Amino acid sequence: MKFFVDTADTAEIKELAETGLIDGVTTNPSLVAKSGRPFKEVIEEICGLTNGPVSAEVVATDFETMVSEGKTLAAIADNVAVKLPLTWDGLRACRALADQDIAVNVTLCFSANQALLAAKAGAAFISPFIGRLDDINIDGMELISEIRIIYDNYLFETEILAASIRSANHVKLSAMAGADVATVPPNVIKGLASHPLTDKGLAAFLADAEKGGVKV
């Protein structure tokens, strides 16, 4: 499974990119706004920190302006994936941009039918928001599994990008359900490496090494 880091904090992205574990980045207007910097400037810098896709979201809601903004974002760097909302106009804009070989990430997906439409519209990525479904007592992982079945049935190439991930367990379950990508906040990615038994075992090894005078 690919890991995208979900942030617009360039320092965090640089740190994680240096590990070789990150395959791309997702942003949204809310995340970029937190930086206090010009939108295009932030996206351009992020695109220089990774060779993978960088999702940059339009702020328009009508078809014509979404297409225009999408072209503007795609011109920033070759690895920009234009992020569009899963609305009727968003789907129309997805097809228009995909027909021009511009990668599109269709976001705010909450049903398998929506995901089917996005794939037919030529989306490179579909972003089901599993955490927000969990918030209203709907199983987000069931949605990932449903989309996986539909996409496999018809050999759609759209990648399932599990979004709104809140925990390490979300990452594990998304991988088990067949998501192609998980977009994960930096703190959750770092937390995947943590386990109390690892910490306990390392402490014991180091204590024994010190006691025995072991040096490398």
State the Cα–Cα distance between residues 46 and 13, nearest whole angstrom.
8
* DSSP code per residue over 120-164: HTT-SEEEEBHHHHHHTT--HHHHHHHHHHHHHHHT--PEEEEBS
Residue 105's H or E segment, with its range, is strand 104-109
| HSE-up (13 A, CA, CB side) for residue 22 | 29
Q: Is the dihedral of CA 4, 111, 138, 27 positive or negative?
A: positive
Q: What are the backbone angles phi and psi of residue 122, rounded to the nearest 5°?
A: 90, 20
To the query of whether residue 83 is one of the catalytic residues in this protein, the response is yes
Fill in the amino acid letter for 35. S
Q: From the CA atom positions of the chain, what is the Rg in Å?
A: 19
| Closest alpha carbon to 146 in 170, 117, 174, 111 | 111
Regarding beta strands 159-162 and 181-184, do their DSSP bridges make them parallel or antiparallel, or are they unpaired?
parallel
**Residue tagged active-site, from 2, 14, 40, 83:** 83
Supply the residues annotated as catalytic: 83
